Every structure is written in structure tokens, then in C-alpha cells.
Amino acid sequence: MLDNNDTIAAISTPPGEGGISVIRISGANAFAVADHVFLGRTKLCEAPSHTAHFGKIVDEQGGLVDEVVVVTFRAPGSYTCEDVVEISCHGGYLVTQRVLERSLSAGARLAEPGEFTKRAFLNGRLDLSQAEAVADLIQSQSDAAYRSSVRQLSGELSRKIKGVRDELLNLASLLELELDFSEEDVEFANRKALQTRLEDAIMTVDELLASYSVGRVYREGVRVTIAGKPNAGKSSLLNAILGDNRAIVSEIPGTTRDTISERVSIKGVLFRLTDTAGLRETVDKIEREGVERAKKEAKEADILLLVMDLSEHDYNGTEPLYSELEDVCAREGVKLVRVWNKVDLYRTEAPRVPQNGYIFYVSALHGDGIDSLKNGLFNLVLGENLNESSVVVTNARHRDALSRARKSLGYALETLESGKSGEFVALDLRSGLNALGEITGEITTEDILNNIFSRFCIGK
Ligand SMILES: Nc1nc2c(ncn2[C@@H]2O[C@H](COP(=O)(O)OP(=O)(O)OP(=O)(O)O)[C@@H](O)[C@H]2O)c(=O)[nH]1
Ligand SMILES: [Mg+2]
């Protein structure tokens, strides 16, 4: 088991070369450890909090390791709420390593991944969902992911959860109070009013659960697979959406042999586009492999872009390959978008193909219709669900806890409606409360914590 009281140290900046690197030391002996290796005008243990000190890091023989600036933070006014010293040295791999080694030989222990943030949580500076937001913030790869983690870090989700918990706690206490007076057969709580309040709480939990589909999109992005027959213009479409000549395009069918994946941001949301080999039954072994891969890619997508060549007039929709893909989509819950390509070949208006679902007409070669396709993709995943002010659940652990809470609250409501004794209702309310408490960390286990903080990098 980890000792949460010793003094830890780690490099908090990424490895490699840069202007500076920061070594962070936290714990009761942070100042003593730093004083052991640092020579400056003042002793750090005598320095006030939040001050910067120029000086040297020296080795055992007093030789120069590096010239540095040290910043002091005294408990509880630091990231971890403990005494913290941050040493900014020159940003090179070796020099940073040496400064860290000196701190370790002076009595600090190398920090585990996320251990600084874990201490911030254990010492009450952040709740658990905020601590998780720190990792999300660091790892966010799109504007949407970044914005939602900043909001979670500021405690928006926590406040919402706390609101529901307070309400449920209230209800549970009322019901439990009745038990103390059970001899007298009193009802402190009006059953009808209780029911309404419980229903409100359930509605909030349901809203949070529903927001997860948006949350996942924020975090992981949207997976889009581009499929279609050889030469339909799939690679051209990928290039047009990216605004870049990423994939090789040629008039020879079967140009794309392997899948190509690229990322693009549409209105701040990350889309992962995968171009695949043209789908057709072939004898060529390599191409056959590509076809299989394309089908597999389609299965794993959120959206399938089925590209069809308008000039080939093969739009009666009875093609076995197309129906195969439609089946895959229907079975796996993948949204199917039909893209009719090469509209530029029609000098007058291109033929409109009567079909259900999402349909776009584009020219991948000239760019017509690409913007509206991009907008369409965005609206397809986020359009109706996007409300800037609503709290979004982005984390699978939170969703799991919310579903368990939802179940318990559902039972509580049923029990209440059936007119059973308040103690049974209170029991279900309590388990709902516990599940919600796991999100913010009021209820937690060492396992949950290890799981969460092992996702962090060392030094955070
Ligand atoms: N006129 C016209 N030609 C296009 C359009 N889009 C693609 N093409 C042409 O169609 C041919 C095939 O394009 P690709 O993008 O390589 O097609 P693909 O679907 O990736 O083909 P494979 O990789 O072989 O399966 C190329 O000659 C493109 O220039 C378009 O909108 N209009
Ligand atoms: Mg191609």
C-alpha cells in the first residue's frame, strides 16, 4: 500500500528538450529535501510561501548540477495542500534527471502516476470528479473535450450531483425519522410530496445519463468510416473533408489497399475519418483482405459514409454490397449517410435519387457540397443534444455510478407508490446515495482510486 504521508518527487514536465523543466516535491519534508540539494541566498525552510529563489543544485561533493529557480508553496496553499517545492531547471533530459535523482537521494520517494493529484483529492482540495477532470484536461484532443473538462474541473458536475444527493439525503432522513416514532404511527412526510421530490431527482439523473452520448463524443470523437465501391471517390472525399491531399487518388479502381485514418475537427468536435479499400468481390487476395477490413471498420464506426458514384447510375439500391453494409449499420447501430459523389459531371442539375435517411450530393474533386456534408455530420451526432449550458457526463465510471443510482431510485419510487413502510424506501434511497457518492468520491475504495490515478502521467 502507498504511504500517503511521505515526501514525493517527480518531473512534472514532458521528457525531451525545452526551455525549462520542473521537478515537483511534495510532502512534510519537501523543504528539508530541497534545502539539502539547493544552495541559494536564503534557506528555503525559512522562506515564506509563494516566493521564488535563484540558486544552484549541487551534488554530494558540492559540484554544480544546474542553476535553478525554486518556488515555494506552504501547506495548505499548494496543489496538494502539502508543503510543495518546485524546482525549475534547464530543460534537458539529463539535467532534469540529475536534479530529480538529487531530490530522491535527499529523502524523497519517486511519485506514482497521478500521486500529486491523488493527494489533492485526499486532502480535500478537489473532489474525485474534479481530479478526473485534470486527467481529461491534459489528454483532451479537441476543443469540445477541452471545454467539457474545464467545466468539470470547475465543479459543475459535482454541484449537480451534490444537489441531487442533498435532496435524497433529506428524503431519507425524513423517512428514517418516522421509524423512531413508529409506535405512534406518524407520517412526517407527505407521501405525495415525497413522490414528487423523488421523481424530480430521478429526472435529473436521467438527464445526466442521457448526456453521456454527447460526452463520449466530446472525449473520444466521432468515428467515421468511408466505404463504397472502387473508384467511387472515397479517398477524394477524405481529402476534401481534410482539406489536404492525404490519400492517394487515381482513376485506377483499387487504389486504396489499406485503411487510412485521419483526424479532423468540425466545429471543435474531433472526427476520426477512416478511408477504406473499395468494396467488391474480387479474386485478388490482397484486395479481398481490404474488403474484409472495410466491413470490419464499418462495424466499429459511429457513422458510415457510403460513397456512390452518381455517374454510374447504380443507385437503385439493390446492390448486394450496399445492402450488406446497410445490414451491418442497422445491426450495430451505426448511422448510415449516403454520399452521392461527382455531381460536377452533370452540367445541369444532377439527378436526385429518392432514398430514405441522410443523403448528400457532393463533388469531392471540386469541393461542392463538402461544407454542408461537414455540417450534416456534426448535426447528426450533436445537433439536438448540444445545449451549451447543460452539464455533460463524459466519464464511463460516472455513467456506471449514475445507472446504479437510477436503478435504486426507481425501486425507491416503486416502493413508495406501493404504500410500503418508509424504511424500505429509505433503504433504496441510501443505496442510490452511495452510488452517487462514488462520483464525487464521498464513497470510495482504494481500488477505485488506483484505477483512476493510474491513468495520470507521473508528475501530475
Ligand atoms: N469528376 C469527378 N471525379 C472524381 C470526383 N471524385 C473523385 N473523382 C475521380 O475518381 C477517381 C477515383 O477517385 P478515388 O478517390 O481514388 O476513388 P476511391 O473510391 O478512393 O477508389 P479506390 O481507392 O480505388 O477504391 C479519380 O480519378 C478521381 O479524380 C468528383 O467529385 N468528380
Ligand atoms: Mg481510395
* Residue-wise pLDDT tens digits, 40-97: 999 999 999 999 999 999 999 999 999 999 999 999 999 999 999 999 999 999 999 9
Grade residue 1 by pLDDT with cuts at 50, 70 and 90.
low
230 lines ligand 1 (CB under 6 A): yes
Relative to beta strand 52-58, strand 38-40 is antiparallel
- pLDDT value at position 350? 61
- pLDDT value at position 268? 86
Of 12-16, 89-93, 287-291, least confident by mean pLDDT is: 287-291
CB atoms within 10 A of CB 284: 12
Residue nearest to atom 32 of ligand 1 (CA): 342
216 lines ligand 1 (CB under 6 A): no
Residue nearest to atom 27 of ligand 1 (CA): 251
3 lines ligand 1 (CB under 6 A): no
- pLDDT value at position 262? 92
Residue nearest to atom 30 of ligand 1 (CA): 342
Share of the chain above pLDDT 90, in %: 62
Grade residue 386 by pLDDT with cuts at 50, 70 and 90.
low
341 lines ligand 1 (CB under 6 A): yes
Give the three cell numbers for residue 56. 544552484
CA of 47 relative to ligand 2 center, distance in Å: 65
Q: Are 268 and 292 in contact (CB under 8 A)?
A: no
Q: Tell which one of 234, 236, 274, 291 to mutate to probe ligand 1, the residue whose CB is within 8 A of the most ligand atoms.
A: 236
Identify the CA nearest to 27 among candidates 80, 100, 98.
80
For residue 308, the ligand closest to its alpha carbon is: 1
Grade residue 188 by pLDDT with cuts at 50, 70 and 90.
low
- pLDDT value at position 21? 97
For residue 346, the ligand closest to its alpha carbon is: 1
- pLDDT value at position 185? 64
- Provide the residue type at 53 as one letter: H
365 lines ligand 1 (CB under 6 A): yes
All structural domains of the chain:
8-125 (3.30.1360.120), 133-211+393-441 (1.20.120.430), 221-383 (3.40.50.300)
Q: Tell which one of 279, 314, 344, 365 to mutate to probe ligand 1, the residue whose CB is within 8 A of the most ligand atoms.
A: 365
Residues 213, 358, 265: CA angle, nearest 5 degrees: 55
CA of 357 relative to ligand 2 center, distance in Å: 25
229 lines ligand 1 (CB under 6 A): no
Buried b (16+ CB within 10 A) or exposed e, 110-124: ebbbbbbbbbbbbbe
CB atoms within 10 A of CB 129: 27
CA of 356 relative to ligand 2 center, distance in Å: 26
| pLDDT, greater one: 147 or 295 | 147
- pLDDT value at position 358? 87
Which is the closest atom of ligand 1 to the Cα of 257?
Answer: 23
Which is the closest atom of ligand 1 to the Cα of 278?
Answer: 25
Q: What is the rounded distance in angstroms from the CA atom of residue 184 to the CA atom of residue 266?
A: 64
Grade residue 176 by pLDDT with cuts at 50, 70 and 90.
confident
CA of 381 relative to ligand 1 center, distance in Å: 27
Grade residue 384 by pLDDT with cuts at 50, 70 and 90.
low
Q: Are 433 and 165 in contact (CB under 8 A)?
A: yes
- pLDDT value at position 149? 93
- pLDDT value at position 318? 58
CA of 233 relative to ligand 2 center, distance in Å: 7
Helix (H, G, I), strand (E, B) or coil at 54: strand
Q: Are 56 and 69 in contact (CB under 8 A)?
A: no
- Provide the residue type at 155 as one letter: G
Helix axes 320-332, 285-299, angle to 10 degrees: 30
Give the three cell numbers for residue 229. 465501391
- pLDDT value at position 61? 94
342 lines ligand 1 (CB under 6 A): yes
- Grid look-up 431519507 returns 172
Can you tell me the mean pLDDT for 393-401? 94
Identify the CA nearest to 399 among candidates 443, 431, 436.
436
What is the C-alpha R_g of the chain? 29
220 lines ligand 1 (CB under 6 A): no
Q: What is the rounded distance in angstroms from the CA atom of residue 404 to the CA atom of residue 443?
A: 14
- pLDDT value at position 276? 85
